[in-house]
Amino acid sequence: MSNASKGSFYEGFVLENLQAQGYALVKQNYRSSRGEIDLIMYDKGFSPEVLVFIEVKYRSSERFGNALESVTAGKRQKILQAANAFLMKHPHAGPCRFDVVGVSGSRQLTHIKNAFSSLG
């Protein structure tokens, strides 16, 4: 399986898992000139609903670090810029959050809510 097809497979796996927890999909694989966001979803467990920008990372092993450690400062910056681009086109008055979901080789999910926040 190629890296692109693995990415799509695990994004779908995470999407289904989050939907089962009550999240609602807004956009999958959002791309702007500034970056990409794997999943944009509403966390319906809050009132008002929280708009969540989600980075999905898969690692078959932790030989070179775990999936969550692979979200570098540069990657976070690109996600933040892409989120700003999304919000310029699709204003959201409620709160926003940045999550990271790591998937290990055994399909174990680790969901870090509020994994990082906006810069300044």
Lowest mean pLDDT among 25-29, 45-49, 90-94: 45-49
pLDDT at 60 over 80: no
Q: Kindly list the distances between the CA atom of residue 44 and the CA atoms of 20, 24, 29, 33, 78, in Å, as whole numbers in the listed order.
A: 12, 7, 20, 29, 26
Q: How far apart are CA 26 and CA 11, in angstroms?
A: 14
| Between 61 and 26, the higher pLDDT residue | 26
Query: pLDDT tens for residues 66-80?
Result: 666 778 889 999 999
Nearest one of 10, 13, 111, 112 to 60, comparing CA atoms: 10
Q: How far apart are CA 60 and CA 38, in angstroms?
A: 19
Q: Kindly list the distances between the CA atom of residue 24 and the CA atoms of 63, 81, 106, in Å, as whole numbers in the listed order.
A: 34, 22, 25
Domains of the chain (ranges, CATH numbers): 3-116 (3.40.1350.10)
Question: Within 10 Å of residue 29's Cβ, how many Cβ atoms?
Answer: 12
pLDDT at 5 over 70: no
